[in-house]
A and B are shown apart, each in its own frame.
Chain A
Amino acid sequence: MASCLFRVLARPQVLKFASLRAVSINSLNIQHRNIHITRTFCQKYFTEKHEWVDVPEGSNVGTVGITDYAQDKLGDVVYVQLPDVGQELEVDGEAGVLESVKAASDIYSPVTGEVTEINEVLNDTPKKINESPYDEGWLYKLTLADPQELEPLMSEEGYNEYLTTIE
Chain B
Amino acid sequence: MTLALREMRRRPGRFAVATIILTLIAILLMFLGGLLDGLVASSTGAFRAQRADVLVYSGNSRNSLERSRIEPDVRHQVESVPGVTRVGGLGSVQLGGRVPGRGARDLVPTVLFGYELAPRGLPSTPPAAGMVYANDSLRAKNVEVGSTIRLGPARSAVTVVGFVSDTRYSGQGTLWGSLETWRQVLNANRPDARVRPGVVQALVVQGVSLGSAGLPERIDRATDGATKTLTITQAVNALPGVSQQRSVFNQIIGVTVVIAIVVVALFFALLTIERTALYGVLKAIGASSRTLFAGVVFQAVVVALIASLIGIVASLTLNALIPAGTIPFVATPARLLSSAAVLVVAAVVGCTFSLRRVLRVDPAAAIGGTP
Report if A and B associate in a common complex: no
